Amino acid sequence: MKILFSWNLKGSFNMDNELHIEVSMTPHPWDNPNKPYSWVLLRWHKTAWCNSGFGWAKTPKEAWENAIKHYEWYIEEHKAELEWLK
């Protein structure tokens, strides 16, 4: 099971404004026995979802917190190219 959080920044309907955070709510110990919960930040780019960050965590809550930290870093790091943030 996964939980998907989605943002459409600046209230625009342009798909290039779409960012998604996906957090695994089911552990995957066969992929990572020490940190079995994954998260991913996805951004729509022209015609497809692109992975903009990924990580593992010990709990779903930790995965969410790590994903949010990465999202905040991603926005700050890429604001020059993300015209829709201006």
Q: What local confidence, expressed as pLDDT, does residue 14 receive?
A: 58
Contact 27, 37 (CB under 8 A): yes
Give the domain extent around 63.
2-85
Asked if pLDDT for residue 1 goes beyond 60, the answer is: no
* pLDDT tens, position by position, 55-66: 999 999 999 999
How many structural domains is the chain composed of? Answer: 1
Q: Which among 16, 27, 21, 25 has a CA at the least distance from the CA of 4?
A: 21
Q: What local confidence, expressed as pLDDT, does residue 66 receive?
A: 97
Q: What local confidence, expressed as pLDDT, does residue 45 receive?
A: 80
- Cα 34 → chain centroid: 21
Query: What's the whole-model pTM score?
Result: 0.77
User: What is 19-68 written as a DSSP string?
Assistant: EEEEEE-S--TTT-SSS-EEEEEEEEETTEEEEEEEEEESSHHHHHHHHH
* pLDDT tens, position by position, 18-29: 788 999 999 999
Task: Work out the average pLDDT over 62-71.
Answer: 95
